[in-house]
């Protein structure tokens, strides 16, 4: 049973401009690629609103979810997205797999390849594992697409794309697109240091022309982004330092468009007149030393509450990638308040966005 009247012509146009074989990072995503994902996801969102929510697009293809680290949202939504596109899905659970008998990760990936897998969705606690598997697939000369579903502290591209889709859909439900965010102010608050979600969001949100303000305790901000800034400088990016009382700001200007990124080690300047506030989970599993006095103190200084939102624009919205430590990063009542919270919409957006990614990567094969 399939949904009728799927706008295949719009989808066809999207795939004709899509050349990316793997999705591992958003660092080099172009505005055209962001808009292609947004508009394809928008078409799938419409499909998902129908009584029959399934399309035959990836019939006969196999999508393997190789999650070496735990997940609720990402894993389930990639699985549902693949099923809505009529792909066959394989799910891997490390605890009951042959990893426990000493099989390597690359050999595990090659085992799934031998079963006819067309796309691999990879999550791993170490940065670089999806890239290593993609390199191996390329070396073998097979046309298997690899999607990074979160690797260590590095990146979580599909999360940032669903965050972007959630925001742009709110701003224009009929035509979500990147330039809707131009000159908006977006605060990303909390454990930036350990957050792959923040890293991917920095790429996507700064590509839109938004001002991105990072705020957190100094111990949870990446060494003033020193390495990040140096790396960009080495690649020819212009860097402008600007002092703002106790805060620092960097404006990175790549050749084609400006990226506006600011750092604050107090909350108020980041929240002032913000259009959107994205708060992040404290990644306790990645903290190797005592980086915070206590969760209570963290909440007092950086927790997002109704009271603190008074600093923002009146129509401000709050995002959180989940899972949430209620009462730590965000007050429990605010998290459940539909006037401010986009957390449920983020989860809903995840299915349409992941359908778009699987579709764009897989449709060339059928």
Residues that bind ligand CP (CB under 6 A): 71-75, 150, 156, 159, 321-323
d(Cα 162, Cα 194) in Å, to the nearest integer? 20
What is the distance of C-alpha 60 from the center of its chain? 28
Q: How far is the CB of 2 from ligand CP (least distance, A)?
A: 28
Q: Of the two residues 82 and 252, which places its CB atom closer to ligand CP in the complex?
A: 82
Q: How far is the CB of 162 from ligand CP (least distance, A)?
A: 9
Q: Of the two residues 123 and 184, which places its CB atom closer to ligand CP in the complex?
A: 123
d(Cα 251, Cα 344) in Å, to the nearest integer? 32
Q: Of the two residues 209 and 321, which places its CB atom closer to ligand CP in the complex?
A: 321
Q: How far is the CB of 117 from ligand CP (least distance, A)?
A: 21
Q: How far is the CB of 160 from ligand CP (least distance, A)?
A: 10
Q: Of the two residues 71 and 258, which places its CB atom closer to ligand CP in the complex?
A: 71
Cross-strand pairs, 188: 214, 278
Rounded to whole angstroms, what are the CA distances from 227 to 126, 206, 249? 19, 18, 15
Q: Of the two residues 128 and 322, which places its CB atom closer to ligand CP in the complex?
A: 322
Q: How far is the CB of 7 from ligand CP (least distance, A)?
A: 29
Q: Of the two residues 137 and 280, which places its CB atom closer to ligand CP in the complex?
A: 280
Q: Of the two residues 75 and 124, which places its CB atom closer to ligand CP in the complex?
A: 75
Q: How far is the CB of 220 from ligand CP (least distance, A)?
A: 18
Q: How far is the CB of 43 from ligand CP (least distance, A)?
A: 24
Q: How far is the CB of 280 from ligand CP (least distance, A)?
A: 10
Q: Of the two residues 159 and 201, which places its CB atom closer to ligand CP in the complex?
A: 159
């Amino acid at each position: 049973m399939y949904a009728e009247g799927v706008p295949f012509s719009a989808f066809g146009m999207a795939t004709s401009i899509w050349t990316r074989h793997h999705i591992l990072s958003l660092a080099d995503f172009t505005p055209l690629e962001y808009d292609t994902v947004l508009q394809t996801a928008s078409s799938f969102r419409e499909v998902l609103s129908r009584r029959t929510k399934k399309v035959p697009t990836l019939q006969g293809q196999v999508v393997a979810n190789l999650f070496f680290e735990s997940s609720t949202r990402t894993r389930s939504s990639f699985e549902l997205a693949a099923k809505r596109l009529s792909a066959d899905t394989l799910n891997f659970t490390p605890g009951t797999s042959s990893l426990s008998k000493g099989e390597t990760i690359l050999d595990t990936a090659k085992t799934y390849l031998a079963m006819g897998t067309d796309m691999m969705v990879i999550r791993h606690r170490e940065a670089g594992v999806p890239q290593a598997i993609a390199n191996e697939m390329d070396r073998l000369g097979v046309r298997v697409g690899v999607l990074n579903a979160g690797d260590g502290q590095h990146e979580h591209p599909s999360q940032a794309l669903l965050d972007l889709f959630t925001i742009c859909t709110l701003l224009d439900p009929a035509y979500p697109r990147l330039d809707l965010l131009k000159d908006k102010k977006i605060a990303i608050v909390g454990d930036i240091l350990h957050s792959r979600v923040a890293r991917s969001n920095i790429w996507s949100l700064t590509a839109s022309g938004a001002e991105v303000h990072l705020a957190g305790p100094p111990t949870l901000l990446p060494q003033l982004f020193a390495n990040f800034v140096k790396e960009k400088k080495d690649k020819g990016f212009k860097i402008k330092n600007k002092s703002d009382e106790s805060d620092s700001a960097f404006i990175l200007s790549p050749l084609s468009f400006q990226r506006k990124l600011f750092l604050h080690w107090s909350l108020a300047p980041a929240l002032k007149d913000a259009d959107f506030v994205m708060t992040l989970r404290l990644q306790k599993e990645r903290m190797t030393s005592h980086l915070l006095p206590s969760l209570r103190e963290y909440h007092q200084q950086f927790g997002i509450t109704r009271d603190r939102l008074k600093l923002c624009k009146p129509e401000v919205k709050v995002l959180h990638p989940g899972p949430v430590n209620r009462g730590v990063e965000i007050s429990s009542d605010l998290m459940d308040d539909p006037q401010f919270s986009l957390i449920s919409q983020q989860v809903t957006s995840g299915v349409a966005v992941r359908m778009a990614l699987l579709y764009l990567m897989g449709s060339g094969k059928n």
